[in-house]
Amino acid sequence: MNPLDLEEFKRQGYMMIDFLTDYYKNIEKYPVLSKVEPNYLAKKLPSSPPFQPESIESILEDVQQHIIPGITHWMSPNYYAYFPSSGSTAGFVGEMLSNGFNVVGFNWLSSPAATELETIVMNWLGKMLNLPKCFIFSSNFECGGGGVLLGTTCEAILCTLVAARDEKLSQIGKENIGKLVVYCSDQTHSALQKATQIVGIHAQNFRVIKTKGSNFFALSHESFLSTILLDVENGLVPCYLCATVGTTATNAIDPIKLLCNVAKDYDIWVHVDAAYAGSACICPEFRHYIDGIEDVNSFSFNAHKWFLTNLACCCLWVKDHSVLRKSLSTYPEFLQNINSDLKEVIDYKDWQIPLSRKFNSLKLWIVIRSYGVENLKKFLRNHVEMAKTFEGLVRKDERFEIVVPTRFALVCFRISPSAINIDNGSEGCYYIGKNMNDGYLVNEVNRKLLDSVNGCGKAYMTHCEVDGAFVIRCAIGSTLTEEHHVNMTWKLVQEHASFLLGKKIEFR
């Protein structure tokens, strides 16, 4: 057996590219949302592994027959769920090259190019975002700011929360961990709650501050301050705030500057999660959404969401990476070397949870070089324009309403309550059952609409719930999406809504 026979590597490589090319040519023929039943694959594949080798041809045949039916096609042009997971030719090539080299860049010595390219790429991105100099690497790697590539924003939040916890405990004593408080809004990603559990912050000290529709679900600095004052009065110690630019539900924008003005008086670490929307801030017209970023401690966005960089690739910047390293650094004998001893280099193992790490900077470097800053801006703006088109179509149909202002490329809409006939007993209306209120009925109608659209297989959207309202989310951002896909999707929504609103349905 020769696991890396170069001729076979070449043959299978060409075969895999051909397979993926055919997949993308035919991607619109597949239901966007997989329709398989739970445990379907156990009925299709053998329960025991093969004793003898099998050909790549037979493996790809099984992929076509059994795996693809169980895929939700995130790269479909009709995928509008959650947030996009964009990919590109450059992203694929970069991933291929990174996998081909297969280096493990835990420290500088293990692969100098992997570390040094990462510092350069993070500085490139920082400059594209017009980040303040405090987040850009200087010639002195021992202190100051800089950036690192992680897997996801979940990791970025966890790493920065660990650093914030340890920095605060160094001031008040480790025995006082039970006094530390973490803050967020009710729109903040659940990654923060998980990170809080992992680092040992008491669940009763996890503050979820309610937002209001009148404020477009942004975290109010007044509510933040009043929550802090109550905690301080009760002898607790404010530690960490996670603000968001582009929340998962509605793309709400927390006011960074105002929140930082409050946080600095209590020495609170402020992290800004811009996992989705951060990419767009390379465009001058969106840069104001991160105004005040000079006052935060850390900032992150996911290049794999809306930046043509295949999963997984999260960009994290910290103002003082020595704080991060104090919490995450280990230096076992087998890793000791003169360059690290002299602190002449970055050892990225000390900026993350695991020891091992991929050569992700290669992928991001190739994406930026292949498309250039101006084309990346055009890519983002194109999706924003398509979202405006979709929003315009929604507004023209009096049966629908836009629930929150459309920001970036997310449109939040629903069938308007005024379009739903309630309890008049006539044909072609909805009958509200016993112990039900109008709000419940409106939500159920919109839920049925979303299920109907997704069930037909031609498009896939997801939902959120804000202020008790069930809202349909159309997140435009797939690499392959064009304006005709958006128009088709809206016609699909209208058709399913017309059918639904023309029926008499009893809710019990």
The CATH number of whichever domain residue 185 belongs to comes to 3.40.640.10
- Residues 164 and 269: beta-carbon distance below 8 Å: yes
- What is the predicted pLDDT for the residue at 502? 83
416, 312: one domain: no
Cα torsion 363, 369, 370, 372: sign: positive
308, 162: one domain: yes
378, 315: one domain: no
- Residues 480 and 77: beta-carbon distance below 8 Å: yes
Please enumerate in sequence order all residues whose Cβ is within 8 A of that of 305, keeping only pairs 6 or more positions apart, or say none. 83, 84, 85, 86, 275, 276, 279, 477
161, 291: one domain: yes
- What is the predicted pLDDT for the residue at 85? 86
Name the domain boundary from 322, 337, 360: 322
Measured at the CA of 220, the angle between CA 218 and CA 222, to 5 degrees, comes to 175
Name the domain boundary from 266, 288, 322: 322
394, 482: one domain: yes
* Number of domains observed in the structure of the chain: 2
Q: Is 456 exposed, middle or buried (0-12, 13-18, 19+ CB in 10 A)?
A: middle
Report which DSSP code applies to 341.
H
Please check whether residue 484 lies inside any domain of the structure.
yes
N residues, the chain: 508
Please check whether residue 22 lies inside any domain of the structure.
no
285, 433: one domain: no
Q: How far apart are CA 406 and CA 18, in angstroms?
A: 39
| Per-residue exposure over 8-27, b if at least 16 CB sit within 10 Å of its own CB, e if not | eeeebeeeeeeeeeebeeeb
Residues of the chain with pLDDT under 70: 142, 422-437, 504-508
- What is the predicted pLDDT for the residue at 340? 85
- What is the predicted pLDDT for the residue at 508? 55
Tokens of 428: 């072609």
Instruction: Write the secondary structure of 358-409 as one string of H (helix), E (strand) and C (coil).
Output: CCHHHHHHHHHHHHHHHHHHHHHHHHHHHHHHHHHHHHHCCCEEECCCCECC
310, 161: one domain: yes
Please check whether residue 383 lies inside any domain of the structure.
yes
Please check whether residue 16 lies inside any domain of the structure.
no
Q: For the whole model, what pTM was predicted?
A: 0.93
The partner residues of 273 in beta bridges, in order of sequence, read 244, 300
- The helix-helix angle for 89-101 and 360-396 (nearest 10°) equals 150
Please check whether residue 332 lies inside any domain of the structure.
no
- Residues 340 and 331: beta-carbon distance below 8 Å: yes
- What is the predicted pLDDT for the residue at 434? 46
Please check whether residue 261 lies inside any domain of the structure.
yes
379, 465: one domain: yes
3-state secondary structure of 324: helix
- What is the predicted pLDDT for the residue at 151? 94
Please give the residue range of the domain that contains residue 416: 369-507
396, 459: one domain: yes
Please check whether residue 14 lies inside any domain of the structure.
no
To which residue do tokens 């860049």 refer? 105
- Residues 68 and 30: beta-carbon distance below 8 Å: yes
298, 407: one domain: no
274, 420: one domain: no
287, 381: one domain: no
Please check whether residue 334 lies inside any domain of the structure.
no
H/E run at residue 489: helix 483-501
Report which DSSP code applies to 63.
I
Phi and psi, residue 357, nearest 5°: -155, 150
State the CATH number of the domain containing residue 404: 3.90.1150.10
